[in-house]
Amino acid sequence: MVRLTVLIATCVLGAPPAEASPAVSLGYSEETAILGTGIEECASGILTYHHDGSFENGYAWQYSGQQPPYYGALGEAYDLTEGLVVCGAYWLSQLMDFWVDPPADCYIWQGGTGSAPGAVLALVAGVDFGPTAIWPAISRHDIEMGVAVDGPFTIGYWGRWPGNGSGWYCAADVNGAVGHPWTCIAPGIGYPSGWQDPSVVWGPTASMGCGVYFQEGTPVESETWGSIKAVFR
């Protein structure tokens, strides 16, 4: 009975199992199916992505790999000239629907096509992606952003489960056209730290399942800058 009590307490506190890896994946599959048709609020932008219409794996960080402010983030970079990121599009999956989906912080960082992502341009905090498909199904989740850009940028997210097992996984295109995939790796967990190509951790990766609804032209303003200043001042 004492042993049972200790095990239950360990699970409640979220302590990692012995030898738990900070980096996990869904496992390679060519039998995936994409679910989701988008939302009306994103219709003014053109859905843009680097994957080839299919995904073969999914990646996530957990436990020591998932640390504030955004160690464990995953993203994809674009260079679409001047315009407005109307929405972000995120292709996600999970292994089991056994816990409440955690929130995420959706980011846009400066740069990412010729060098590593830089300063935070926008943050939409505490996003509820809603129900996530069970692997090998993948669901697309569209999130309103309204962010003005005038050069290369990286769009991605950080899942809010530091110190715990993975919530859901970002879909990965393994064999499509090469895009600009990124992940931000925490120091001291056995990998090169900072912004790195996901292939450093999970093997060959063409692009990540993070896209944008993009509206070309000169936008009037960026709608999320107020929330950025509140978080990073």
Measured between alpha carbons, how far is residue 185 from residues 32, 84, 125, 161 in Å? 27, 28, 20, 15
Domain membership flag for residue 224: yes
Domain membership flag for residue 225: yes
Contact 68, 201 (CB under 8 A): no
Which residues form the domain of 34? 23-232
pTM, two decimals, is 0.87
Domain membership flag for residue 187: yes
The pLDDT assigned to 13 comes to: 39
Per-residue pLDDT reduced to its tens digit, 120-156: 999 999 999 999 999 999 999 999 999 999 999 999 9
Cα separation, 199 vs 183, whole angstroms: 9
Per-residue pLDDT reduced to its tens digit, 190-203: 999 999 999 999 99
Domain membership flag for residue 8: no
Domain membership flag for residue 10: no
Per-residue pLDDT reduced to its tens digit, 40-63: 999 999 999 999 999 999 999 999
The pLDDT assigned to 17 comes to: 62
Domain membership flag for residue 9: no
Q: What is the mean pLDDT of residues 71-85?
A: 97
Cα dihedral 182→187→193→194 (10° resolution): 50
| Res. 103: pLDDT tops 70 | yes
Domain membership flag for residue 1: no
The domain total for the chain is 1
Q: What is the mean pLDDT of residues 176-205?
A: 97
Domain membership flag for residue 179: yes
| Res. 110: pLDDT tops 80 | yes
What is the pLDDT of the chain when averaged over all its residues?
Answer: 87
The pLDDT assigned to 32 comes to: 96
Question: How many beta carbons lie within 10 A of that of residue 133, not counting itself?
Answer: 22
Instruction: Say which amino acid occupies 51.
Output: H
Contact 184, 67 (CB under 8 A): no
